[in-house]
Structures are given as structure tokens and as C-alpha cells.
């Protein structure tokens, strides 16, 4: 293991030990070039001997680096020591995690806990949007960091990495060697098979964390790991408002829905949880709700567009509609209709499957064409009736040309006169000695110009 004062990767000087867990040790270090304080996490020798642990360490480090959120600790660098042990470089955080805060205060105020939970919802939403499930959400992995302005912000740590690979028989919160996660915070489906879970498993864990922060104990508090498993799989937790009468019944119901054994009966995403929690917070983090909802909606849209070509089609169509709106286009060419796909009912299943992507592209093209047409029609309506008047004038002129009989042929060529002048001369009688008024070259002023005067 590296020692205090050692320089890692030629640029990170280790200053002190900031924390230690079952898998690794975290140092406070200084970047020698930037003079910036960072946190360096190194795997312990026992854990570094396991190829599976090393591979998982690297994979989850890459996943954490993809998550761009204020509420997730940023990964700045990664590499390996001379011994081969991998290390991560993360932003350095000052403060304490919620486990340490709970040791100082047995139960926290409702509004404060809800604010922490809403920030955790935003972190989970960013993770779930890129396909990362935390799998080990607990108070020790929610860090209350100090901001430069003096405020606090929740930072989520250790995505997918258990705190300890060797559980002590007396420590019921440590992670077992064959279980991914901390048993007391794990969902029933995660206990059965940690690989076959989705984002709703993290929502269960978040419910357990909030329950503990508001009551001082976990909903399935038992003496041993086996009893904890049995309680999670077969018992209903005591409602939160019965544990702590200061907790509103409505908030207790929100947390109770996080702890439904059937994932289909829980909240389905972090946006739903944040929206349900918002009325019970201080209001300082209410803007989390629209951000999370928009983020998850975009993630669902991109997931539905499961091929790059389809994504490009939609993006190009939206860009074209925006360009037409910017340049003030007055007309829209009729959308090209995709050719219908004929599928022989006697064809094999593989042949039918080959047509599926084409049908899906056709549906997307048709939907984009309809949306683009509606947008441009709306723009035309908003631009005022001046263009309509101009178009009407052209139509009248065309009609007058159509119904006016051609002049009789003569030996001398007749002077050329526009149809408009002829129509004006025939419709309006003028004095013989007075020259006809010169037609104005100015068109009707659009109505939208009047609003600017």
C-alpha cells in the first residue's frame, strides 16, 4: 500500500488518510501541477488480488464518470500503481456522510431529511438515465458536502461498489461476500438475484434510508443477517408515522410505497418519488422535480429510439423544422409517405423480424412529418394575415386574367398594358384631362408592424 508522502502517477502527493472501507482506502492528496486537493481511492491488497473485484472496480469507475450531476462525486482520473492495484481520483469533499450525522442525532428534522432525499433522487435519476443502478445506497454513501458559499449539498458515492467484502458476524450493515449491497438496505429482488434488478431497487433503498433518518432505526431491524433477509422477504415494516409521531401520515405513505415488496406497486422512477416528497421539504430543492422529470423523459425517448439511424432521423427532422421556423418559411412541402411494407403471411418468423426496423422507421418518419407540419402551420397563423392578403391579391389577378377575353387581332400592335391597369381603368371613371394615378408599389402593411409603432 502507498504511504503518506508518496507520489502516485507522478502528480498526486498523498497527504493523509481520509477514510477506509472493506475494499479500499481513500487518501486526501494534492495535484502537484494544479495545486488542487483531490481524493485518491486505492484498492486494498486483498481485494486487488481478485480479478473480478478489479474488473468491477474499473467498470463502475467508468459508469460513475459518465454521470454528470451536481449530486454525484466526480471521477477525475484513474490508473494503476506500480504494484498493479487500481486507483481512482475523485473530487475532494469536506463534510460528513449521513451515517456519521445519524450518530450525532438519533433522528433528523422532517424538512431536512426530505431535502436530502430529493437531492438523492436527482443523483439516482442521472444514474438511471445512463443505465447505472447504484445497488448499495445507504447513509454512508450519501455525503453531506460543504459548498464554497457555505451551504450544503448531497453527493452520492461508491456506485455499485460494496463497502466491505468481508462481513463481521456482529455488523449487520456490512456487505456479505456473496451479496452485492448492504443487506439491511437491499430490496427483496436484490436479495434473490442482485443481477436481475432495475432502478426500482434503488428506490426501495432510498425509502429505507429516509425511514432510518426520520426514525433512528431501519424498517427491518433484526439481530442477524438471516433474520434481516427473512424480514425483508416476508414481513411488513411498521409504518413510519408510528415509529415517529412527528412524521406526517402522508409522508409515511410516500415512504411506505417505496417499501412495497412488489416492484410494480412501488414508485416507478426517481421523478415520481421527488414529486411526492416535495410538499414536505423546505422548498429550497423543489426545482429538482422538473429537472428530474425532463431528464427521465428524455432518457425514455432515447431508449425508445434503439438504433442510431432512427435517432439521426428525428434529430435531422427537428433541426429542419427549426430552420424553417427561423427563416420564416411560408409553405411546407408535402411529407414523403413511406412505402407500405408488404409481408407475406406465409413467411418465416425471421423474415417478419427483418421488416420490423423498416416499419419502425416509417412510423417515426410519419410522426415527425405530422409534428413538423403542425409547427409550421402554427407559425404561419402567428405571423399575421398580411401574407394571406398578398396571396389573395394574386388569386384575384389570376382570376381576372382568366375571365378577360383576349383583344381582337389588328394590323397595328396594341400597346402593352397590364391586366391590373385595365381592370382599374374599366372600374373607375376619371376626368379626360387628368392623368391616371400611378399605381403604388407599396404593399399592405402587415399588422404586426403596427404593434412596434
Question: Concatenated DSSP letters for 367-390?
Answer: HHHHHHHHHHHHHHHHT-SHHHHH
The 10s digit of each residue's pLDDT in 101-151 is 999 988 899 999 999 999 999 999 999 998 889 988 999 999 999 998 889
**Residue 310: pLDDT above 60?**
no
Round to whole Å and give the CA distance between 242 and 432: 103
pLDDT tens digits, one per residue of 282-308: 999 999 999 999 999 999 988 887 645
DSSP 96: E
- Position 295 scores a pLDDT of 94
Average pLDDT over residues 171-184: 58
User: Which of the four pLDDT bands, split at 50, 70 and 90, describes residue 63?
Assistant: confident
pLDDT tens by residue, 30-47: 999 999 999 999 988 888
Q: What is the pLDDT of residue 372?
A: 66
pLDDT at 303 (0 to 100) = 81
Q: Is the pLDDT of residue 423 over 80?
A: no
Phi-psi region of 206 (alpha: psi -120 to 50; beta: other; left: phi over 0): alpha
CA angle, corner 314, sides to 313 and 318, nearest 5?
120
**Per-residue DSSP letters for 10-42?**
TTEEEEEEEEE-SSEEEEEEEETTTTEEEEEEE
How does residue 452 score in pLDDT terms, banded at 50, 70 and 90? very low
Stretch among 49-63, 207-221, 258-272 having the lowest mean pLDDT: 49-63
The CB density around residue 330, as the number of other CB atoms within 10 Å, is: 13
Residue 431 pLDDT > 80: no
SS3 298: helix
Alpha-carbon separation of residue 355 from 100, 135, 307, 352, 367 (angstroms): 57, 38, 14, 5, 19
pLDDT average, residue stretch 218-246: 93
Predicted pLDDT at 283: 95
Check pLDDT > 90 for residue 371.
Answer: no
Contacts of 158 (CB under 8 A, 6+ apart): 136, 141
How is 144-209 classified by DSSP, letter by letter?
EEEPTTS-EEEEE--TT--S-SS--TT-TTSPPTTSSS-GGG--HHHHH-TTS--HHHHHHHHHHH
Predicted local confidence at residue 119, as pLDDT: 98
Apex CA 379: angle with CA 374 and CA 384, to 5°? Answer: 135
Burial class (CB in 10 A: 0-12, 13-18, 19+), 408: exposed
Q: In the prediction, which pLDDT does 76 show? A: 92
What band does 263 get if pLDDT is binned at 50, 70 and 90? very high
Contact partners, residue 20, CB within 8 Å, separation at least 6: 26
Closest CA to 72 of 154, 185, 181, 163: 154
Contact assessment for residue 338 and residue 361, using Cβ atoms and an 8 Å cutoff: yes
Angle (CA) 303 133 75, round 5°: 100
Mean pLDDT computed over 86-99: 93
Say yes or no to pLDDT of 182 above 80.
yes
**pLDDT score at 161:** 54
**pLDDT in the model for residue 363:** 61
Grid cell of 90 as nine digits: 475523485
- Residue of 218, 190, 220 lying closest to 202 (CA atoms): 190
**Residue 53: its pLDDT value, please?**
80
Residue indicated by cell numbers 482506502? 25
**Residue 20: strand pairing partners:** 25
Contact 206, 218 (CB under 8 A): no
Look at residue 230 and tell me whether its pLDDT is greater than 90. yes
Q: Which residues of 283-321 are buried (b: 16+ CB within 10 A; e: fewer)?
A: eebbebbeebbebbeebeeeeebeeeebeebbeebeeeb
Question: How crowded is the C-beta side of 149, counted as CA atoms within 13 Å?
Answer: 3
Residues serving a catalytic function are 136
Residue 431 has φ and ψ, to the nearest 5°, of -60, 150
- Does residue 68 surpass a pLDDT of 60? yes
Rounded Cα gap, residues 285 and 80, in angstroms:
39
Q: Over the chain, what is the mean pLDDT?
A: 76
Q: What is the mean pLDDT of residues 170-194?
A: 70
Q: Mean pLDDT across the stretch 219-234? A: 92
Lowest mean pLDDT among 70-79, 240-249, 415-424: 415-424
| Grid cell listed for 451 | 404593434
Q: What is the pTM of this model?
A: 0.65
What is the rounded distance in angstroms from the CA atom of residue 369 to the CA atom of residue 366?
Answer: 5
Report, as an integer, the average pLDDT of 255-281. 97
Alpha-carbon gap, residue 156 to 164, rounded angstroms: 17
Q: How many angstroms separate the CA atoms of 106 and 229, rounded?
A: 24
Amino acid at each position: 500500500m502507498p504511504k503518506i508522502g508518496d507520489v502516485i502517477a507522478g502528480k498526486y502527493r498523498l497527504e493523509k488518510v481520509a477514510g477506509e472501507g472493506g475494499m479500499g482506502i481513500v487518501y486526501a492528496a494534492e495535484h502537484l501541477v494544479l495545486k488542487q486537493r483531490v481524493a485518491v481511492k486505492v484498492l486494498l491488497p486483498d481485494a486487488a488480488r481478485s480479478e473480478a473485484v478489479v474488473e468491477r472496480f474499473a467498470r463502475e469507475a467508468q459508469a460513475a464518470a459518465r454521470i454528470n450531476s451536481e449530486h454525484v462525486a466526480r471521477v477525475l482520473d484513474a490508473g494503476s500503481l506500480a504494484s498493479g492495484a487500481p486507483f481512482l481520483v475523485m473530487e475532494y469533499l469536506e463534510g460528513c456522510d449521513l451515517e456519521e450525522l445519524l450518530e450525532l442525532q438519533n433522528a433528523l428534522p422532517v424538512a431536512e431529511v426530505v431535502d436530502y432525499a430529493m437531492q438523492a433522487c436527482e443523483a439516482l435519476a442521472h444514474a438511471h438515465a445512463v443505465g447505472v443502478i447504484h445497488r448499495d445506497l445507504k447513509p454512508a454513501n450519501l455525503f453531506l458536502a460543504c459548498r464554497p458559499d457555505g451551504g450544503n449539498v448531497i453527493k452520492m458515492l461508491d456506485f455499485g461498489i460494496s463497502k466491505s467484502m468481508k462481513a463481521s458476524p456482529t455488523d449487520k450493515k456490512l456487505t456479505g461476500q456473496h451479496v452485492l449491497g448492504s443487506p439491511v438496505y437491499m430490496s427483496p429482488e436484490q436479495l434473490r438475484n442482485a443481477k436481475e434488478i432495475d432502478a426500482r431497487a434503488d428506490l426501495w433503498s432510498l425509502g429505507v434510508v429516509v425511514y432510518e433518518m426520520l426514525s433512528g432505526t431501519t424498517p427491518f431491524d433484526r439481530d442477524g443477517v438471516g433474520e434481516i433477509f427473512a424480514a425483508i422477504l416476508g414481513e411488513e415494516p411498521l409504518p413510519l408515522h408510528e415509529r415517529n409521531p412527528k412524521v406526517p401520515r402522508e409522508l409515511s405513505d410516500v415512504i411506505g410505497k417505496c417499501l412495497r415488496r412488489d416492484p410494480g406497486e412501488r414508485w416507478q422512477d426517481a421523478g415520481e418519488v421527488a414529486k411526492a416528497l416535495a410538499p414536505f421539504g423546505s422548498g429550497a430543492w423543489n426545482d429538482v422535480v422538473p429537472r428530474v422529470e425532463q431528464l427521465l423523459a428524455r432518457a425514455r425517448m432515447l431508449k425508445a429510439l434503439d438504433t442510431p439511424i432512427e435517432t439521426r432521423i428525428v434529430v435531422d427532422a427537428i433541426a429542419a423544422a427549426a430552420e424553417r421556423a427561423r427563416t420564416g418559411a411560408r409553405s411546407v412541402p408535402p411529407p414523403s409517405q413511406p412505402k407500405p411494407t408488404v409481408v407475406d403471411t406465409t413467411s418465416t418468423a425471421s423474415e417478419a423480424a427483418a421488416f420490423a426496423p423498416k416499419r419502425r422507421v416509417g412510423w417515426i418518419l410519419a410522426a415527425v412529418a405530422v409534428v413538423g407540419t403542425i409547427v409550421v402551420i402554427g407559425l404561419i397563423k402567428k405571423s399575421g394575415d398580411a401574407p394571406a392578403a398578398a396571396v389573395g391579391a394574386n388569386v384575384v389577378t389570376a382570376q381576372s386574367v382568366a375571365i378577360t377575353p383576349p383583344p381582337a387581332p389588328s394590323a397595328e400592335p396594341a400597346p402593352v398594358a397590364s391586366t391590373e391597369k385595365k381592370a382599374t381603368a374599366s372600374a373607375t371613371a376619371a376626368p379626360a384631362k387628368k392623368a391616371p394615378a400611378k399605381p403604388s408599389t407599396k404593399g399592405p402593411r402587415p399588422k404586426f408592424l403596427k404593434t412596434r409603432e
